[in-house]
Structure 1
Amino acid sequence: MSGILFLASPWLFKYNNGTAAQWVIIIMGCLLLLMAIFTNYEAGVVKQISIPTHLTLDVYTGAFLIITPWLFGFSDSTRWPYLAFGLFEVFAGRLTKKFQDARTSFS
């Protein structure tokens, strides 16, 4: 769901102007969708990334999103969606259960 929200956010929050603010979040959304496809969980298709690895990558992508407005120079115009999405990713990655219950595991 995060990937879809990231892809839609330039239009939802009115920063679909072709700048780095738009393209960085679109690229991150695509990466999150790819990661979801490759994760070994219910919605995963290829199932090559473990849940702990996925959650660790969520924390790193969240941290990257938090610093992105200053890194790419759009902190004055479009920082709040990036901060909110980044914090969400960090907290989701840190607070989600990191092991699979054998009863609910899909192979």
Structure 2
Amino acid sequence: MRFIPTKVHAVLDYVVAIALILAPTIFMFEEVGGAAVIIPRVLGVGLILYSLLTRYELGLVKVIGMPVHLVFDVLASVFLIASPFLFGFADEAPNAWVPHIAVGVAVILVVLCSKSQPGASVTGNRSAKAHAGSVA
């Protein structure tokens, strides 16, 4: 049941990336330091980078297909969810680890609901362009 258009997914990518980068400040766990702070910030920057390279409406260079992008999203989310346990900050206050899990789960849900192909104007579908030209 994939109902989220790639354009909406693209907007969410940039919003989530900024939220990840700012999460330690927003949720006030900067003082925990280490992996708790570094992981969301690195994943946020990474998300911006691979979003800029994705073949969808808000991609800049358009070299990564949407299915590969979605795999990156899932892998990053699984890592984000596991990070409090892998790096030992799950015993800190909940504000230091719950955002990692919540964002990771939310992104996986978005991936499951996102379309895996952008519209014809983004993919360069010649038949769709030809049809659009004949209608105009």
Fold agreement, TM-score > 0.5: yes
**Paired position in structure 2 for 1:93:** 111
* Structure 2 stretches lacking a partner, 5+ long: 1-14, 125-136
Q: Kindly report structure 1 stretches of 4+ aligned residues shifted beyond 6 Å.
A: none
Higher RCO, 1 vs 2 (CA within 8 Å, ≥6 residues apart): 2
- Give, in whole Å, the separation in 1 of the partners of 2:34 and 2:71: 28
**What is the CA deviation profile of residues 11-64 of structure 1, one whole-angstrom value per residue up to 9, with x for unaligned ones?**
000011232200111111110010111111111111111111111111111111
Contact residue 42 and residue 106 of structure 1 kept, 8 A:
no
Match of 1:11 among 12, 18, 25: 25
Structure with larger Rg: 2
Q: Give the number of the structure whose residues are more often helix, by fraction.
A: 2
* Structure 1 stretches lacking a partner, 5+ long: none
Deviation, structure 1 residue 93: 1.5
- Give, in whole Å, the separation in 1 of the partners of 2:57 and 2:118: 11
Deviation, structure 1 residue 101: 2.6
Q: Confirm or deny that 1:29 pairs with 2:29.
A: no
Deviation, structure 1 residue 106: 5.7
Deviation, structure 1 residue 95: 1.4
- Give, in whole Å, the separation in 1 of the partners of 2:78 and 2:118: 25
Q: Percent identity?
A: 33
Q: Confirm or deny that 1:105 pairs with 2:122.
A: yes
- Give, in whole Å, the separation in 2 of the partners of 1:100 and 1:28: 24
CA-atom RMSD in angstroms: 1.3
